[in-house]
Amino acid sequence: MSATLLHGKHLISFQEWTKNEINMTLDAAADLKRRFALGEAHRLLQDKTLFMMFFEQSTRTRNSMEAGMTQLGGHAHDLTPDKMQLSHGESAKDTAMVLSRMGHGIACRNCFYGIGNQYLREMAKFSSVPIMSLQDDLYHPMQAIADLMTIQEYFGKNLKGLKVTISWAYATSHAKPLSVPLSQVLLFPRYGMDVTIAAPKEFPLLKDFVATAEQNSLENGGSIRFTENMDEGFEGAHIVIPKNWGGFGNYSFDEYNANEDECHKEMKANLQKYKSWICDERRMGLASKEVKYMHALPADRGNEVTNTVIDGPASIIYDEAENRLHTAKAIMALTMGGRP
């Protein structure tokens, strides 16, 4: 498959990309990681411009995109609503049409529940350059592809039968969206992994996404199973990803938007029931001897995970974080470059 086929392609979710396109991205990321390690120049986007729109805070995403764009020879504009006419109500359509006439790519993070994904898709409808999701309320493709790259680095490209547990965990730091576990549960079964979702009944994933994930597993030889017991979820796992997410799976967008305060009160009350859902050494001992601990970060230390685990020998969180750079560069190079 020619790289030119990815030129101009939007990335809202990898569910809309073929496995060949995802594999090309992983191959490009591995090559760019090698070149970065050797200090080889790889200015594949010389003099090109990326507009980055952030409605929320970011560490890994913002810096992987901005550093990556610099290393590729281009420039990234760091935009927030207060720096744009978004604060005065400018539409997604107008923003996309204007920026796409001035640069070569638009990347956006908008995680507002019931709003973010719709906003990105509205921009994609009117943009003449690729729109890249930096996370919305439903998807975080940049995180999922870095996770997949990291898993392949430790377990090889043939991941069929690899046992991966995506587990809910207790946290108090902030209300974490569903987008990371939803993106993982969609992508991992496409590579034949056996995925376990461990979560209390009050914190389900969205039904439509689960149905799609189950179809992905049927088509690619993986599996999906569910448990409401964290210990059971960890048993025999090769990869564990314990991370908090909100109880948004219990609500439709309309229900949530109509009763936001009540929904938050209910989620907070449910959260307090499950303080024992922490990744600790005892639970790691239930997993495979070769188990690896992953987290998208920032982790709520002492609630989601103990320091002995996150700082221990099974933790590969910093490899995972570094790969955000290399996969972001691959996505930008393939969608914003790829042809003269």
Bridge partners of 133, per DSSP, are 108
Do β-strands 163-167 and 75-79 pair in parallel, antiparallel, or remain unpaired?
unpaired
Most confident of 4-18, 241-255, 304-318: 304-318
pLDDT at 1 over 50: no
Cis peptide before 340 (omega within 30 of 0): no
**Looking at 48-57, 199-208, 254-263, 282-291, which range is the least confident one?**
254-263
- Give me the CATH topology for the region 143-320: Rossmann fold (3.40.50)
**Looking at 81-90, 193-202, 218-227, which range is the least confident one?**
81-90
Q: What is the pTM of this model?
A: 0.95
Instruction: Read off the pLDDT of each residue in 63-71 and give the average, rounded to a whole number.
Output: 97
- The residue behind tokens 């496995």 is 19
- What pLDDT is attached to residue 56? 86
Higher pLDDT, 88 or 71: 71
Task: Tell me the three state secondary structure of residue 25.
Answer: helix
pLDDT at 340 over 80: no
* Confidence tier at 334 by pLDDT (50, 70, 90): very high
Q: 3-140+323-336 belongs to which CATH class?
A: alpha beta
Pair of tokens at residue 237:
């796992």
pLDDT at 2 over 60: no
Q: pLDDT tens, 224-261? A: 999 999 999 999 999 999 999 988 888 888 887 778 88
Where do you find CATH 3.40.50.1370 in the chain? 3-140+323-336, 143-320
Determine phi and psi for 197, rounding to 5 degrees. Answer: -105, 115
Q: pLDDT tens, 83-110? A: 777 666 789 999 999 999 999 999 999 9
Q: pLDDT tens, 136-166? A: 999 999 999 999 999 999 999 999 999 999 9
Bridge partners of 98, per DSSP, are none
- Reference 216, options 246, 186, 176; nearest CA is 186
CA distance 231 to 228: 9
DSSP letters, 141-210, are HHHHHHHHHHHHHHH-S--TT-EEEEE-----SS---SHHHHHHHHHGGGGT-EEEEE--TTSPPPHHHH
